């Protein structure tokens, strides 16, 4: 028997939303909504859609994720990342529904030398991080059964993400300088979706709370970029993918100061995931293993 009757899923054209649309089907009927069917910047639209679907579970991977652009669009980022989750949670609470929501390593300032625990003090450095933190708080305040899953460095075979950007740039340029002093765990959208479904399968209301959910081990953006090129090269001939202009040796380390961005990023994005494994028995694959799986699905678009 399905665990849920009606699952309302937002943001189905996003990286995580796309994967969730496929994997959540094992738990119940999924009402998969894109922006045209549910506009999270429109509070009336949110209320009306939730009231008409009457979900017993809302899963909300949709977000304003343009980290740098958020610095100049704080109101829109706040509407989508803070106010929309608040309304979703309030409407879900009225229906007695539960909610799964995604958050980010960017709620931390990255000054801690060791991996962050869920209980550590948050101190976002950017508008994006602040609005995501406000969204978390709104869900807790609505006092409904919930899971807030903080993940990091999301990428997948499809979508606008670091992996696809590196492959594009490496096809255009002979060398790349990539930030080597920010550390975190690249986490694939497929891994996030599958872990969400596994957690929900054994989920009960008493397991409500905030959890870190990332792939295992850590690297820098520079290390991730090198690994992307290496994995690409392993499959290139077999898949008849084009030769890249940049080789692994020509991916050079640079510092954050060398690559200034409008939004500040935490230097340490490492998240301790022990709570997820002790509560749900879930241990996610190491990031490099997940990268191999994602690269195997990659369709070169140049």
Ligand X SMILES: NC(=O)c1ccc[n+]([C@@H]2O[C@H](COP(=O)([O-])OP(=O)(O)OC[C@H]3O[C@@H](n4cnc5c(N)ncnc54)[C@H](OP(=O)(O)O)[C@@H]3O)[C@@H](O)[C@H]2O)c1
Binding mask 122-151 for ligand X (x = CB under 6 A): ----------x------------------x
For the bound state, the minimum distance from the C-beta of residue 103 to ligand X, rounded and expressed in Å, comes to 6
Q: What is the DSSP letter of 187?
A: E
Residue among 4, 108, 116, 153 that touches ligand X (CB under 6 A): 153
Residue 266: Cβ within 10 Å count: 25
Tokens encoding 245: 């202009």
Among 62, 98, 195, 229, binds ligand X (CB under 6 A): 62
Residue labelled with tokens 């949709």: 62
Query: Which range, of 62-70, 235-243, 259-267, 278-286, touches ligand X by CB under 6 A?
Result: 62-70
d(C-alpha 302, C-alpha 293), whole Å? 20
In the bound state with ligand X, the residue whose beta carbon lies nearer, of 81 and 244, is 81
Nearest distance, CB of residue 300 and ligand X, angstroms: 20
The nearer residue to ligand X, 189 or 219, going by C-beta atoms, is 189
Closer residue to ligand X in complex, CB, 35/112: 35
Could you say which of 21, 126, 152, 268 contacts ligand X (CB under 6 A)? 152
Q: How far is CA 105 from CA 126, 132, 190, 250, 285, in A?
A: 11, 10, 18, 29, 18
Paired tokens of 53? 């679907």
Longest dimension (CA), the chain: 57
β-strands 219-220, 183-184 pairing: antiparallel
Interface positions, 267-286, toward ligand X (CB under 6 A):
none
CA distance 34 to 112: 37
Tell which positions 9-48 bind ligand X, by CB under 6 A: 10-11, 13-17, 34-35, 38-41
For the packed helices 84-95 and 127-141, what is the interaxial angle rounded to 10 degrees? 20
Helix (H, G, I), strand (E, B) or coil at 20: helix
Indicate whether 224 belongs to the interface with ligand X (CB under 6 A).
Answer: no
Contacts of 238 (CB under 8 A, 6+ apart): none
Closer of 91 and 244 to ligand X (Cβ): 91
Contact flags string 77-116 toward ligand X, x per CB under 6 A: ---x---------------------x-xx-----------
Binding mask 176-205 for ligand X (x = CB under 6 A): -------------x----------------
């Amino acid at each position: 028997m399905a665990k849920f009757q009606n699952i309302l899923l937002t943001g189905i054209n996003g990286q995580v939303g796309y994967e969730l649309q496929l994997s959540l089907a094992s738990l119940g009927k999924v009402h998969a909504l894109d922006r045209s069917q549910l506009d999270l910047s429109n509070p009336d639209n949110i209320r009306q859609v939730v009231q008409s679907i009457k979900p017993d579970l809302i899963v909300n991977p949709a977000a304003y994720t343009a980290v740098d652009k958020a610095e100049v669009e704080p109101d829109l980022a706040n509407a989508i990342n803070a106010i929309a989750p608040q309304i979703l949670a309030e409407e879900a609470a009225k229906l007695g529904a539960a909610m799964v929501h995604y958050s980010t390593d960017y709620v931390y300032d990255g000054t801690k030398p060791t991996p962050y625990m869920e209980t550590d003090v948050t101190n976002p450095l950017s508008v994006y991080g602040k609005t995501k933190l406000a969204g978390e708080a709104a869900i807790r305040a609505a006092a409904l059964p919930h899971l807030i899953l903080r993940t990091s460095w999301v990428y997948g075979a499809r979508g606008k993400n670091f992996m696809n950007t590196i492959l594009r740039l490496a096809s255009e340029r002979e060398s790349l300088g990539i930030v080597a002093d920010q550390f975190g765990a690249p986490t694939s959208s497929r891994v996030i979706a599958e872990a969400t479904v596994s957690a929900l399968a054994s989920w009960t209301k008493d397991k409500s709370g905030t959890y870190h959910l990332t792939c295992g081990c850590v690297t820098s953006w520079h290390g991730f970029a090198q690994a992307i090129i290496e994995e690409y090269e392993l499959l290139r001939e077999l898949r008849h993918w084009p030769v890249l202009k940049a080789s692994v040796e020509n991916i050079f380390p640079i510092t954050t100061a060398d690559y200034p961005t409008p939004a500040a990023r935490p230097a340490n994005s490492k998240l301790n995931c022990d709570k997820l494994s002790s509560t749900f028995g879930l241990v996610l694959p190491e990031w490099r293993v997940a990268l191999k799986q994602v690269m195997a699905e990659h369709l070169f678009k140049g």
